[in-house]
Amino acid sequence: MRLKARVTVGAATAALLPTLLLGAVGCSSKDAPTAGKAPDPKGSAPAGSPAVSPSGAPSGSAAPKAAAGKLARSALEQGDLPGYQVSAQGKNPNAPAGQPQADRKACQPLADVMGDEPDPAARETVNRGIGSQKQIGLAVSASVSSYTESDAKALIARLRDAVAACGTGFSATVGKQSGNYRDVRAAEYRTTGDESVSWTTTAAAQGVSAQVHMVVVRQGATVVRLMALNVAGSQQKAQVPHEVADKQLEKVRSAG
């Protein structure tokens, strides 16, 4: 699968760009995936199968098959969004696994949300990569994660505080790779969820940079994480399309 705009995303860049977005970078804006053939990367699960923890076992003692099934039903699928290609390949297989570590404690929630899970309190997460056929080069990642409702509320509060505290930026490391996030700015963004937080930042490492737009939404005890960048040009601004956010939240409500 290829985008019309040729883009090379190396392993070093995988550490600094939101890891889930890198799967969307590989998707074509022209060719739809064959049904049932989308790859299942580490840390994500295709629709119809239980979400699993990185260890391969359902996380939590009662991680309930019903809850896992509900989360899978909440995830976007090919055909849900006309004009977009949806893939279960939610992250680049070359991207390091795990949660990035920030160099500033106040910014750790922002580093966490760039990793495999929105934060360590997530019970289950299902990831999707989305390529736009309308705006060539626009790559979007969508994930849904299950929480207790109190943990979900706490995550949104921590992210709001971190956005306010980290305007000058921070660096983050995952594995042996690191990158910088500059100019963290709160962004206005309308959603239909219970509450949300949105911001923009520029990710950079080894001479490669990209402007990133992040939206995290709480719907009850479910957290939706949306990230967008434009791989056709590193300096082109990207925004999570509202139709993507609205459809993802609609599926969360329907599954719940």
Per-residue pLDDT reduced to its tens digit, 192-205: 999 999 999 998 87
Residue carrying structure tokens 């600094």: 16
Residue 136 is predicted with a pLDDT of: 83
Chain length of the chain: 256
Mean pLDDT of the chain: 76
Determine the 3-state secondary structure of 254 from DSSP: helix
Q: Is 108 exposed, middle or buried (0-12, 13-18, 19+ CB in 10 A)?
A: buried
The whole-angstrom separation of Cα 94 and Cα 240 is: 24
Following DSSP, what letter does each residue of 150-188 receive, concatenated? HHHHHHHHHHHHHHHH-TT-EEEEETTEEEEEEEEEE--
Taking the C-alpha atoms of 23, 26, 28 and 33 in order, what is their torsion angle to the nearest 10 degrees? -60
Of the pLDDT bands very low, low, confident and very high (cuts 50, 70, 90), residue 234 is low
Closest CA to 152 of 113, 95, 187: 113
Residue 2: pLDDT above 60? no
User: Does the structure show a pLDDT above 50 at 145?
Assistant: yes
Q: Would you call 219 helix, strand, or coil by DSSP?
A: strand
**pTM recorded for the entire structure:** 0.77
Residues above pLDDT 90, as percent of the chain: 51
Res 17: pLDDT: 58
Q: What is the mean predicted confidence (pLDDT) over 110-118?
A: 90
Note the pLDDT of residue 230. Answer: 83
User: Can you give the pLDDT at residue 195?
Assistant: 98
Amino acid at 1: M
**For the purposes of burial, counting CB atoms within 10 Å of the CB of 123, is it exposed (0-12), middle (13-18) or buried (19 or more)?**
buried
Residue 177 identity: Q
Share of the chain above pLDDT 70, in %: 68
Q: Which of 11-25, 72-86, 121-135 has the lowest mean pLDDT?
A: 11-25
Terminus-to-terminus CA distance in the chain, angstroms? 33
What dihedral do alpha carbons 163, 165, 169, 171 form, nearest 10°?
A: -90
The average pLDDT across 68-84 equals 91
The mean-pLDDT minimum among 24-33, 34-43, 180-189, 223-232 falls in 34-43
Q: What is the pLDDT of residues 47-72, one digit of tens each?
A: 222 222 222 333 333 444 455 588 99
What CA–CA distance (Å, rounded) separates 181 from 237? 15
